[in-house]
Amino acid sequence: MNFATLNWLAIIASTLAFFGFGAVWYSPFVFGKMWMKETGITAEAATKVNMVKTMGLTLVFSFVMSLNLALFMNSPEIGASQGAMYGFFTGFGWIAMAIFVSGQYEFRSTRYMLINAGYNVVGLTIMGLILGAWK
């Protein structure tokens, strides 16, 4: 693992892209209302959450995900299309499948699992695309 060859600006950009994409994915105009219904979270309960803490931790966790993906892709031969492919396989093969495994034991609905897994698959594909393209 060579941290010196990582593109830290690409890692930050892909972190922010993943975070921003989540704001769109979970907005009321896309899957937000459906997600709230599937989780049982009400609008009233959502207003009681410390959103600064939640958003701050989300940024930190997204950064760790981006850094991890960048470490796996830390090769000059990996370009945009390969980066997107690695991001997709990471999102689908690891994250989505982990969500589905856990969801089975938590008795979550298929819709709930698809919403959360879909966000991670698409988000990591975008993350991989940015990391692969920006060398």
Angle at 21 between CA 79 and CA 43, to 5 degrees: 160
Contacts of 111 (CB under 8 A, 6+ apart): 34, 38
Q: Is 56 left (phi over 0), alpha (psi -120 to 50) or beta?
A: alpha
Provide the number of structural domains found in the chain.
1
Look up the domain containing 87 and give its range. 3-133
Q: What's the pLDDT band for 121 if we cut at 50, 70, 90?
A: very high
Residue 2 pLDDT > 90 = no
Report the percent of the chain where pLDDT is more than 90.
96
Q: What's the pLDDT band for 1 if we cut at 50, 70, 90?
A: confident
Q: Quick check: 95 and 62 in contact, CB under 8 A?
A: no
Neighbours of 94 (CB within 10 A): 12
Span 31-85, pLDDT tens digits: 999 999 999 999 999 899 999 999 999 999 999 999 999 999 999 999 999 999 9
